Amino acid sequence: MAEKSRLSLNQITTANWSVAQAVEGCARHGVRSIALWRHKIEEAGLKASVCAVNDAGLRVSSVCRGGMFPAATAAERRQNIEDNFRAVDEAAALGADSLVMVVGGCAGVGIADARQMVAEGVAALAPYAREHRVRIGLEPLHPMFAADRSVLVTIEQALAMAQVYDAREVGVVLDTFHIWWDPRVEELIARCAGRIFGFHVSDWLVPLPDVLLGRGMMGDGVIHNRELRHMAEQAGYDGPIEVEIFNRGLWDSDPDKVLAQVVERFEQFV
């Protein structure tokens, strides 16, 4: 069983809560870490967000998300990189363990060019992130998101991209929803030793209700979250474990009850 002290609430799981409400929720439920989303930080204000998490003594396991590098024109790509600089500023102010990268899809530019643009985007961002002591966490997404969200789709590919950089600066974020299907998942997680900057859990429901908003609560689907968590630990990861569930049904529920269930399922299945 994972220690409850490692549980981190990824704010998207309780999407109707503001930063302040999510922070209060964590305090109420004994959750010690939180992952914040940038649209929520913007809504609350960065300064107020920093105060809220500091006052509550919460660890910020990540800021979600930077990335989205590919674009048809050089001007747009430059703009995307500028936006990533702002994401680094926010992650630095919040003292986040890492800035999670959802690198962007191939639609509109083609997959080969998109991958090149991602490599260039990370290269442009890395020195700025280093200066601000923010770690870049490359998150491989499930291959079903290759067109619209992330051309980075396997652990192997994310690791290869990270390995260009110092292991203290660029690493990978493992989300069980995105990686559970990989026939080489055990071998690849082991190869990530020293570069795992984050670990996320949820579940894969059968049938899948929706590509984007159909993730399930741990225990409701086919993912062996505990096994995967063990693999990450074998590779040396002992940081926070984020529960990150994009689910329309959960979003329509009372966030406080959702968080109570998150805690319960975490102890039961992670």
Min dist CB 185 to a copy of itself, Å, is: 9
- Cβ neighbors of 38 (< 8 A, separation 6 or more) are 63, 64, 65, 87, 90
Buried b (16+ CB within 10 A) or exposed e, 102-124: bbbbbeebeeeebbebbeebbeb
**Total residues at interface with a copy of itself (CB under 8 A):** 28
In terms of CB distance, is 121 or 255 closer to a copy of itself?
Answer: 121
In terms of CB distance, is 182 or 242 closer to a copy of itself?
Answer: 182
Q: Per CB under 8 A, does 157 bind a copy of itself?
A: yes
Alpha-carbon distance of 87 to 91, in angstroms, equals 6
Of residues 162 through 221, those in contact with a copy of itself by CB under 8 A are 180-183, 204, 206-208, 211, 221
Q: Per CB under 8 A, does 143 bind a copy of itself?
A: yes
- 243 three-class SS: strand
Q: Per CB under 8 A, does 225 bind a copy of itself?
A: no
Of residues 112 through 131, those in contact with a copy of itself by CB under 8 A are 115
Which residues form the interface with a copy of itself (CB under 8 A)?
105-107, 110-111, 115, 142-144, 146-148, 153-154, 156-157, 180-183, 204, 206-208, 211, 221-222, 224
